[in-house]
Structure 1
């Protein structure tokens, strides 16, 4: 089964020959090896790169075990570097290579080597690996399948595909599984025995029950404003735990560092500054989030928001939660008051900015006014968009606000430009 992941292939193409180590990061089973050894290597062949100028090595195979020794690997690569042409070195599961940082830095000093690597253990999955490469790493972060990528492999129609995607997420292997039982067991086992185990081992976590409870709290509150203090209060009142705010903050940073969750900060649009707290947390994959809660809290409204957040980040946007203050006249008191309104997403890429509201349905005029209120409170010229789960044709209202269908947004990369 072939799934095109053109956005990531293009990002690798854009970085060819840039003098840096191209580091493909992402959670386990998100498709890093497939991207490097199938899609990108195929591109190199199509560009006429001779086969002997592509050196690929997967360190997790038995036949390549000897090359986990750095001296053996370097001798092999030196022997392969024949002429002055560019050689593309593709290394998979590089964390299994002893002293891999030194090897990568040594290869980077060879003027005719263009280097691409992936890794999957808890240390390599973390952001620390880019620090260890001391500014010589160029990260390409790969997400689980987007909905558009998912639909390349899903055999049914788009609407049944959405129901499947909301439940089981976008890890590539789940698309190939036939039954709900297979998918749920796979995701539950992967979360517990791989992702969570990596985090516990890497960070030497002794209070494992508290880490697991924290995951449950975060999974239950996606799309809701919170902060470590609120979470700590939840532990105290509901779980009778003495966990400190600092410990909550530290545990959250471990989950972020492993790319399992991501923090969306609040941004005061008119004040042009970040607001410290509260913030929102979203999961890298909604299937893993659902598995964490044993598929008991599958609220499509919040999951749709999580999926939109991931989609925007996958497209390269920096995404914040927006906040805008609106002044109004109180008829009862005669005073001028203000209230704070929320914008689901403020998406920035270079000089482009979009204000986006996620609306599951717009059944009434009151609901429409509610969704538009924060957008109408803005006084700049950036585009304002409502993405709705209902099936609608894209249209602009008299204020210039664009309303588009969720499916138009997810299936058409240029849909924000309607």
Structure 2
């Protein structure tokens, strides 16, 4: 069954003929080639574009090895372009093309070419797009399957689907595998033989063991506030390693650049400014995170938080961790004190903002009060939401806070607008 990845397809459609190189980035095996060569190409055909005006080159195919030479490729393309009509150039794994930056900038000079490329994240990162194409690269970042996309092909109910997704994540090939054994072996091998090797080779890392240890530390602390200094202390106390803060900072940057992890910064809601360290780290795919830990630490509360964070980012939101100062009077001393309350997600997109809490359960009034406290401390008019694992009908309480169930949130792209 074909997964309809309409979020990303629509992003490509909205960028057609914009005079820029459309660059599809994302973690390895997340579906970049499928998006470009299947979904987008099928749309072009359905729109009446003939195959002779859709020029495709897959550089990772052995039969296309000669076209990795830029002069041979340009000569080939020139012979295929026989009129002044609009041509669509689809280049897959373009990092394998020699001098690909110069080739793409050269193709951009032809007014009737609309260019789309994918690239392996080991050599083709967001910062490469921004620097190499001189401001003419338009990035579309693709994530592993969302829970909504996953359920398109999962043969079962939403509850078993959630358990499967929470354990093995959304990498398309893993999703289609039949047995747990296959999925475990695939995810563990993929991380070890592909992601880690990519990062080590690209950044010339000499101490691979330290990188692997860092990944284990980060995967054990998703959803927790951390920074290089705190991680360095963990290395000293638990691993008896003296790795420096600077080395940890560099390694974390490498992991972010390779789309393995992402960083949620702390934002002072009332002061309207970023606070800086510490921050939270989340994994681009929870299946990969679980594979790092041999599927031993599958804490549903933390994985739910990671999945909600990823879902918000898939929807295009910039996501921060909210920090709200609240003043109160200490009854014992009658002193005025300040405490810091945390909002799990401050999600921003243009003029939209949502304050969101992730609550695994709210079984009683005390837990409800606890989850609402940080939201009530924010006095602006932006929408405030609590997402709970329980199956409930969405409702808005007397404080204006919307409470919705996790599955309603994940399976409805407009759920925040209720």
In which range does the TM-score fall when normalised by the shorter chain? over 0.9
Q: Is the partner of 2:343 in helix, strand or coil?
A: strand
Matching of residue 356 in structure 1 with residue 356 in structure 2: yes
Residue 139 of structure 2 is matched in structure 1 by: 139
In the alignment, structure 2 segments of 5+ residues that lack a partner are none
Q: Is the partner of 1:60 in helix, strand or coil?
A: coil
Question: After superposition, where does 1:263-412 map in structure 2 within 5 Å?
Answer: 263-412=263-412
Residue 119 of structure 1 is matched in structure 2 by: 119
CA contact (8 A) 1:386 1:401 kept: yes
Q: TM-score, normalised by structure 1?
A: 0.99
Q: TM-score, normalised by structure 2?
A: 0.99
Q: Residues 119-153 of structure 1, C-alpha deviation per residue, up to 9 Å, x if partnerless?
A: 11511145324322221111000000000000111
d(CA) in 1 for partners of 2:176, 2:238: 40
d(CA) in 1 for partners of 2:175, 2:311: 18
Q: Is the partner of 1:339 in helix, strand or coil?
A: strand
Matching of residue 103 in structure 1 with residue 103 in structure 2: yes
Alpha-carbon deviation of 1:50? 2.0
Matching of residue 86 in structure 1 with residue 86 in structure 2: yes
Q: Residues 105-129 of structure 1, C-alpha deviation per residue, up to 9 Å, x if partnerless?
A: 1111111000000011511145324
Q: Residues 6-43 of structure 1, C-alpha deviation per residue, up to 9 Å, x if partnerless?
A: 00000000100111110000011000000001100111
Residue 5 of structure 1 is matched in structure 2 by: 5
Matching of residue 19 in structure 1 with residue 19 in structure 2: yes
d(CA) in 2 for partners of 1:160, 1:307: 16
Residue 43 of structure 2 is matched in structure 1 by: 43
**Which stretch has the larger CA shift, 108-117 or 327-336?**
327-336
Q: Is the partner of 1:356 in helix, strand or coil?
A: strand
Q: Residues 216-238 of structure 1, C-alpha deviation per residue, up to 9 Å, x if partnerless?
A: 00000000001111001111111
d(CA) in 1 for partners of 2:295, 2:359: 23
Residue 171 of structure 1 is matched in structure 2 by: 171
In the alignment, structure 1 segments of 5+ residues that lack a partner are none
CA contact (8 A) 1:91 1:116 kept: yes
**Which stretch has the larger CA shift, 116-125 or 293-302?**
116-125
Residue 60 of structure 1 is matched in structure 2 by: 60
d(CA) in 1 for partners of 2:241, 2:157: 47
What value does the CA root-mean-square deviation take over the aligned residues? 0.9
Q: Residues 233-275 of structure 1, C-alpha deviation per residue, up to 9 Å, x if partnerless?
A: 1111111111110011011000001010001000000000000
CA contact (8 A) 2:121 2:259 kept: no
Q: Residues 49-99 of structure 1, C-alpha deviation per residue, up to 9 Å, x if partnerless?
A: 122111011011122121111111101111111111110000001111111
d(CA) in 2 for partners of 1:38, 1:142: 15
Structure 1 residue runs of 4+, over 2 Å off? 125-130
CA contact (8 A) 1:126 1:259 kept: no
CA contact (8 A) 2:344 2:356 kept: yes
Q: Is the partner of 2:236 in helix, strand or coil?
A: helix
CA contact (8 A) 2:284 2:310 kept: yes
CA contact (8 A) 1:127 1:258 kept: no
d(CA) in 2 for partners of 1:257, 1:172: 21
Q: Residues 266-303 of structure 1, C-alpha deviation per residue, up to 9 Å, x if partnerless?
A: 00000000001110000000000000000000001000
Residue 246 of structure 2 is matched in structure 1 by: 246
Residue 181 of structure 1 is matched in structure 2 by: 181
Q: Residues 352-404 of structure 1, C-alpha deviation per residue, up to 9 Å, x if partnerless?
A: 00000000000111110000000000000000000000000000000100000
Alpha-carbon deviation of 1:158? 0.8
d(CA) in 1 for partners of 2:256, 2:214: 13
Q: Is the partner of 2:124 in helix, strand or coil?
A: helix
Matching of residue 211 in structure 1 with residue 211 in structure 2: yes
CA contact (8 A) 1:123 1:129 kept: no
Q: Residues 150-197 of structure 1, C-alpha deviation per residue, up to 9 Å, x if partnerless?
A: 011111111100000000000001111111000000000000000000
Residue 222 of structure 1 is matched in structure 2 by: 222
